Amino acid sequence: MPDYTVSKTLDYKGLACPMPVVKISQQIGTVAVGDVIEVHTTDPGSLSDFPAWAKTTGHAILETRQEPGLIKIFVKRQK
Amino acid sequence: MSVDVDKAMADLRSKVESMPGAENKLTMVVMSGELDKHLAAMIIATGAAAMGMKVILFFTFWGTAALRAADKKGRGKNFMGKMFGMMLPKGRNKLVLSKMNMAGMGTAMLKGLMKKKNVASLDQLYEVAAQLAVKIYICEMSMDLMGMKKEEMIDYPDLEVCGVATMLSHAKESAIQFFI
């Protein structure tokens, strides 16, 4: 079991590039530093785009889970 | 020989800060007037803004027509200005593909596909760009050459007319420069 709790879940299913990354950049500021957001997406590009976004903006991807037809990404606000 | 470390550090800092490409900024020249290239430009622009970069777009030549508002008119145009106005697309929703347009069929087909696949339209991308404070400059000379007026351009929160030097000063500071 992961040792963190999710404080917000966001549904980005069906959205295509660049909207998942655009939306997480607008939402990350709505949770406190240290909080974790769970993102649901169907865009396969998000698998590489979220880590790239996190690296550039200084946040962290704690975990990425691929389920049939769904990708779950756990984003931690770092600053 | 004694060295003033503080002064040396200050000199070094000012040197580093004024180095080309030191800012987390992207400057993009948008010269093309076609739908596919504008989509690419706006996806890169909004994506970069989402990555925390300051984004500067410089619309020039054929690109300027994409910024015309569908429901506005420029007053006091001469004959050539009116001709250009008629020949050029009136705004972003009148742009066509650079390839496979096939008298509009290809463009219509692509727009249908984009809707089906839930890819953001140019309207949505401009809305996001405005939210993310993407700056748009329009090349003054291109507008003047084609007889376009500022008053016929879209309502956008951060839209300004400028010359090449403004774009170049942004480009010099930017970590990334693109030309589409």
Domains within chain B, CATH numbers bracketed: 21-179 (3.40.1260.10)
pTM above 0.80, yes or no: yes
Calculate the average pLDDT of chain B.
92
**Number of Cα atoms under 13 Å in the Cβ half of residue A42:** 10
pLDDT confidence tier of residue A8, bands split at 50, 70 and 90: very high
Q: What is the DSSP string of B133-152?
A: T-EEEEEHHHHHHTT--GGG
- With CB atoms and an 8 Å threshold, state whether B46 touches A14: no
Closest CA to B174 of B74, B25, B61: B25
* Top-ranked range on mean pLDDT: pick from A41-55, B48-62, B162-176: B48-62
Classify strands A70-76 and B23-30 as parallel, antiparallel or unpaired.
unpaired
Question: What pLDDT is stored for residue A1 in this prediction?
Answer: 57
Asked whether the beta carbons of B59 and B143 are under 8 A apart, the reply is no
How close A1 comes to chain B (CA, Å)?
A: 30
CATH no. of A6-76: 3.30.110.40
Contacts of B43 in chain A (CB under 8 A): 17-18
Would you call B50 and A25 a contact, using CB atoms and an 8 Å cutoff? yes
Quote the Cα angle for A10-A12-A18, to 5°.
125
A-contacting residues in B 100-159 (Cβ below 8 Å): 117-120, 128, 131-132
| Helix ranges, chain A (H) | 19-27, 46-57
Check whether B127 has a pLDDT greater than 80. Answer: yes
Structure tokens at B56: 């500067």
CB within 8 Å of chain A, chain B residues 64-93: none
Interchain proximity B51–A25, CB inside 8 Å? yes
pLDDT at A64 over 90: yes
Residue among A14, A15, A56 whose CB faces B51 most closely: A56
The domain locations on chain A are: 6-76
Using the beta-carbon criterion (under 8 Å), do A22 and B128 form an inter-chain contact?
yes
pLDDT at residue B20 greater than cutoff 60: yes
- At B1, is the pLDDT very low, low, confident or very high (cuts 50, 70, 90)? low
